[in-house]
Amino acid sequence: MQTIKREVTALLAVAAAAYGMAAAGAATAGAKASDARPQYIGYRSFRQQFERTKDFADMGIPLRIFFAANTINAYGMPYCDYPLIWKGIKQYDWAALDAQVEDFLKASPNAEFICMIDLNTPYWAIRRFSIDSFTEISHAASNPGWIKATKEWMLDFIAYAEKKWGAHIRAYVLSGGCTSEWYEWDKGRTGNVKNAAWARWCKERNLHYGPTVPNLATLRTAAFENLVYDPAKERQKIDYWRFHNSVIADAILSFASAARKAIPARKNIGVFYGYYYTSAKGQVSFGHLDYERVYASPDIDFFIAPANYSGRRMGGGTGSQLVHSTARHYGKRLMHEIDVGPHTQKFWQPGTWKTFEEDVAGNTREAAFATANGCSYYWFDMWGGKNGFYDDPALRARIAKLAEITRRYGNAFPHPADEVLLVADPESLYHVNEKDPKERAFGEYFRNALSKTGFPFDVCTLSDLKTRDISKTRVVVYPAAINVTPEKKELIEKKILGGGRTVVWCYAPGISDGQSLDVRRVKDYAGVPYATPGVSTTKMDGGWTSVYARDYKLYTPAKLREIIAASGAHVWASKPCVVFANERFVAVHTKDGGEIKVSLPRRYARITDLLADKVVAENADSFTCTFSSPDTRLFDLSEND
């Protein structure tokens, strides 16, 4: 700990200068002309946190994310320390916004801002529309009156903010729904307004279900093992989940389209959306599964999400709740929210990190994930005050160093190591009863398990493979292949099944073809009949290997490491750990420490420990380091002397 604390004086002294030089040189540090979305590194808090705002600016991080909020959070606490701005239809207290910005500029005169616009219903609007968009966003999104009034507020806010504070604002974030992250917490509950929207949605698609609407009890049962809906008998449930997700996506797209017309083209628009690797038993009702349509919008530039909640402890691989390579596939950048409090924090996720050393290793791991994947990121000092996340100056020193390292890699989208590819399939999830415990196989479980194998991996959506080159991919992990329509089957056979690859399946791949259920189809993909005990490996016609287990829990990190190694994929680490990598950068995170040999896919002129500013190998394709317990180390891979 004392060693880390000794970094403080030197690092803080050079941080601001380093920021200026790195920002000026970002465009020349490997960036491509086509990378239009800038990379942001910032600081955020619900509270004012003037002292920390100044500290982060002095550290070379002058970007402050603030929330012009009118609502309270899930704990019943105000999201904002300033008065309500939106007080009624066409009634605004702009002085509340002015005071917030002025106060931040007093603390940090050169501050730049990302402004979050609160699209949720203030207390008066809950009564006016009989809807609380915070707790029932799919219902609000189904209400044309709410959409109209909220869009009017948003446009008036943008007009005022741009006129008064536009010189300081770099981007806007459109925030609505539960925790302002556009997710739904009603679990699929119906209501009069939502039912009317469902009827309109069905009519537009020539679907005839009569006056009935699936209720919660109905949605929580499924024909096959209570997990998979039968499309021949339960299509209404499948379509209802499509509607439930699409109505939220429609609202986001509508707000973004209007905002884009009002905001200068040079400024970016972001949203919290696209959470696929989210909490168990909520992956479908969460309302984020229509993310591909939203990612395709020309009006949105970046997508924000916190780290996967179940992968945050030491030794875990964190990662985003988003399918981050799909965002990149659409030319959009991910903004990674780093929101884990220090070991001294008692309110938000207490005990996630248990010591100061874990605080340092954990924050370093989060920034390393973002750096390896070309993401923006910010440190979220959630509650601030006496419970601030970044009160320790030694921790701030590490953060300053991490920001400096990230900027060295410029604004380009990197090419992450992709010999191992985890494939998401949001369309298949509409066919799943999320309340059955087996549903966990289709979400965050495999992300967490793969993170601990010692192999870097990338994450994409099945439809990305229509244009994505996976010729170098040795292992495809595709756990959610529940509904394989003829179109999807053609894509899978063309792009995945072949090339000497190993394909890892779970539960019942191909059980549905979109029209009916038939467990006999499982063998076509698994190589063995459905529910064959254990983990089966089968050499398949066409030159590929199928690995199958009905029970996802059989795919432990150790088992997955064994499968990946047997595929012929490059072995990066000599023992299980977390590895993030691209063509210029590799990071290793470990809970247990010890000696780890890192092998690289090719020889490099120089390999540098970025935190220690020390060359660890020259003209080498491997290096060995002794890691502390816990530890996260970052290495630069230089091809030139």
pLDDT of residue 30: 30
Q: What CATH number does residue 224 fall under?
A: 3.20.20.80
**Which one of 360, 380, 408 terminates a domain?**
408
State the total domains in the chain. Answer: 2
List the structure tokens of 477. 């992990």
Express each pLDDT in 575-609 by its tens digit.
999 999 999 999 999 999 999 999 999 999 999 99
Express each pLDDT in 395-409 by its tens digit.
999 999 999 999 998
Express each pLDDT in 534-573 by its tens digit.
999 999 999 999 999 999 999 999 999 999 999 999 999 9
Give the rounded percent of residues in the chain with a pLDDT score beyond 90.
Answer: 86
Question: For residue 67, is pLDDT > 80?
Answer: yes
The residue count for the chain: 641
Q: What CATH number does residue 612 fall under?
A: 2.60.40.1180
Residues 288 and 384 placed together within one structural domain of the fold: yes
**Which one of 354, 376, 408 terminates a domain?**
408
pLDDT of residue 441: 94
The long-range contacts involving 515-519, CB below 8 angstroms and separated by at least 24 positions, are 515/231, 515/232, 516/230, 516/231, 516/232, 517/223, 517/224, 517/228, 517/230, 517/231, 517/232
Phi, psi of 93, deg, nearest 5: -110, 80
Helix/strand/coil (H/E/C) assignment for every residue in 79-128: CCCCCCCEEECCEECHHHHHHHHHHHHHHCCCCEEEEEEECCCCHHHHHH
Residues 330 and 443 placed together within one structural domain of the fold: no
Label residue 184 by pLDDT band (50, 70, 90).
very high
Q: What angle do CA 327, 333, 336 make, to 5 degrees?
A: 100
Mean pLDDT of the region 327-331: 94
Measured CA to CA, the distance from residue 344 to residue 351 in angstroms comes to 8
- Let me know: does 605 contact 612? Beta carbons within 8 Å: no
b/e per residue 429-464 (b: at least 16 CB within 10 A): bbbbbbbbebbbbbbbbbbbbbbbbbbbbbbbbbbb
Question: For residue 9, is pLDDT > 80?
Answer: no
Question: For residue 20, is pLDDT > 90?
Answer: no
Question: For residue 11, is pLDDT > 60?
Answer: no
b/e per residue 128-160 (b: at least 16 CB within 10 A): ebebbbbbbbbbbbbbeebbebbbebbbebbeb
Nearest to 400 by CA among 1, 17, 3: 17
Mean pLDDT of the region 428-450: 96
For residue 78, the 8-state DSSP code is B
Mean pLDDT of the region 272-289: 92
Identify which has the larger pLDDT, 415 or 272.
272
pLDDT of residue 23: 35
Residues 452 and 326 placed together within one structural domain of the fold: no
Residues 438 and 466 placed together within one structural domain of the fold: yes
The amino acid occupying position 76 is G
Phi, psi of 80, deg, nearest 5: -140, 145
**Which one of 373, 408, 443 terminates a domain?**
408
- What radius of gyration, in Å, describes the C-alpha atoms of the chain? 25
Nearest to 383 by CA among 355, 349, 348: 348
CA distances from 469 to 72, 414, 450, 473, 497 (A): 45, 15, 21, 9, 14
Residues 400 and 424 placed together within one structural domain of the fold: no
pLDDT of residue 77: 84
Residues 434 and 344 placed together within one structural domain of the fold: no
Measured CA to CA, the distance from residue 289 to residue 44 in angstroms comes to 27
pLDDT of residue 641: 67
pLDDT of residue 281: 80
Question: For residue 75, is pLDDT > 90?
Answer: no
pLDDT of residue 388: 92
Residues 396 and 481 placed together within one structural domain of the fold: no
Mean pLDDT of the region 205-209: 94
Residues 402 and 423 placed together within one structural domain of the fold: no
Domain that holds residue 315: 2-408
